[in-house]
Amino acid sequence: MNLPLLALAIAAFGIGTTEFVIMGLLPEVAGDLGVSIPSAGMLVSAYALGVAVGGPILAVATARLPRKTTLAWLMALFVLGNIGCALAPNYAWLMVARVLTSFCHAAFFGIGAVVAASVVEPHKRAQAMSLMFAGLTLANVLGVPLGTLLGQQTGWRSTFWVVAAIGVIATLAVLRWVPALRQTLSGSVLGEFRVLRVKQVWLALGMSALASASLFTVFTYITPILRDVTGVAPQNVSGVLLLCGVGLTIGNLLGGRLADWKLMPSLMGIFATLALVLATFSFTSAWLWPAVVTLVVWGMVSFSSGPSLQMRVVSQAGDAPGFASTLNIGAFNVGNAAGAWLGGAAIDIGWSLKTLPLVAAAVALSALALTAYSARLERRGVVVRGNLAGCEAS
């Protein structure tokens, strides 16, 4: 077992749990703090905004620190934020604590992905990233359901105390198992922003945002789809989502192997398959077992793109892989919000729940087109450089 990857996966499990468990505890939080459900829902939006904005800032601020030290301090911030959530006397305090916690999210995953790739052989880098992100998928399979159940039975604050304890364990694991790795900056810290001049980095960020938007166009509304279209009883929805979570975990690990094999062809194949599966789900969602099978396959295909997308942006970032990797986590979260908005907009204009997978399929096709464009530019760049080299040799 690769102990550094285990330490990163434990941290990812804790971070993923605290991000998503709030969704299952919104009624309890709203009732305890005396706010409406929509107001409590703003805790989700504020967290996503904190990830997108705070992550890159922390990545730049810590650019010259040893990566092990940075990861440990980020987990300490995570623990502090969750303790703040558990002790929050009112809504405003809880909001501040959630935003504080979110700041470590993108920075940890961004820097952690680079560290994961650094502790294995070059041909296993994407697989290493997928093993770290396996902690995030397991958070959706185990952490969120168990955290929701705990909060419902013993009070929502108890969930955040447990997550804070997981953060302490993760901090100790990082300090004990992650090797000392230094940043390799040749210029100023602000030089990290030079990565924003690289067109392929922007294309990779766009691919990540579209992939995430496709996922959350459906995932945000999966419970009403299962209840109102498929006819799943409310008490059985969690069981279906658990099966979907198993698919997410398998897809994440499979995606790492595909990325180490052939990254860009794998991504194009994944997005094409994803569009097909989503289109299929718009028809199979009316029947129980066809819907369940399609959902499991959808989960596998959706999450198999993650390691490839993270590896793509890191490979194009030059001397600023940590900053670019952190930006990519922010891009995923922007896609989360965009997908939830897109699905809601489709419902608001009168489209049925059955059409949401078709909307998501169109987004997946957009991701495929952007990936194909990026690959075409890359091939043309190789051809141009090859021709120039031939001219110089002659």
Q: Residue 231: what are its φ and ψ, rounded to 5°? A: 85, 25
Question: What pTM does this model have?
Answer: 0.79
> pLDDT at position 130, please?
83
Note the pLDDT tens digit of each residue in 343-368: 888 888 889 989 999 999 999 999 99
Q: How far is CA 119 from CA 113, 126, 127, 141, 167, in A?
A: 10, 11, 11, 27, 22
**Which one of 25-29, 300-304, 390-394 scores highest in mean pLDDT?**
300-304
The tokens of 249 are what?
A: 């975990």
Do 198 and 113 reside in the same domain of the chain? no
What are the DSSP calls for 26-53, one per residue?
HHHHHHHHT--HHHHHHHHHHHHHHHHH
Last residue of a domain, one of 149, 180, 211: 180
- CB burial of residue 274 (10 Å; 0-12, 13-18, 19+): buried
**Which one of 31-40, 90-99, 305-314 scores highest in mean pLDDT?**
90-99
The tokens of 164 are what?
A: 């804070």
Do 343 and 380 reside in the same domain of the chain? yes
Q: In this model, does residue 386 exceed pLDDT 50? A: no
Average confidence score pLDDT of the chain? 85
> pLDDT at position 1, please?
58
Mention every residue, 6+ apart, whose C-beta is less than 8 A from residue 127: 120, 253, 256, 257, 259, 260, 307
Do 239 and 163 reside in the same domain of the chain? no
> pLDDT at position 80, please?
96
Closest CA to 71 of 2, 4, 162: 4
Note the pLDDT tens digit of each residue in 195-225: 778 899 999 999 999 999 999 888 878 878 8
CATH number, domain containing residue 310:
1.20.1250.20
Do 333 and 196 reside in the same domain of the chain? yes
Do 390 and 300 reside in the same domain of the chain? yes
Q: In this model, does residue 245 exceed pLDDT 50? A: yes
The tokens of 115 are what?
A: 């560290």
Note the pLDDT tens digit of each residue in 35-85: 887 788 788 778 888 888 887 888 778 777 888 999 999 999 999 999 999
Note the pLDDT tens digit of each residue in 171-194: 999 999 999 865 554 445 555 667
Note the pLDDT tens digit of each residue in 253-303: 888 888 888 889 999 999 999 999 999 999 999 999 999 999 999 989 998
Total structural domains within the chain:
2
Instruction: Count the Cβ atoms, other than its own, within 10 Å of residue 169.
Output: 16
User: CA 247 to CA 351: how far, in whole Å?
Assistant: 28
Question: Token pair 């955040």 is at which residue?
Answer: 160
Do 194 and 58 reside in the same domain of the chain? no
What is the chain's Cα-based Rg?
Answer: 21
Q: In this model, does residue 393 exceed pLDDT 60? A: no
Least confident span in 111-120, 143-152, 190-199: 190-199
Residue 375 sits in which domain range?
188-394
Do 246 and 341 reside in the same domain of the chain? yes
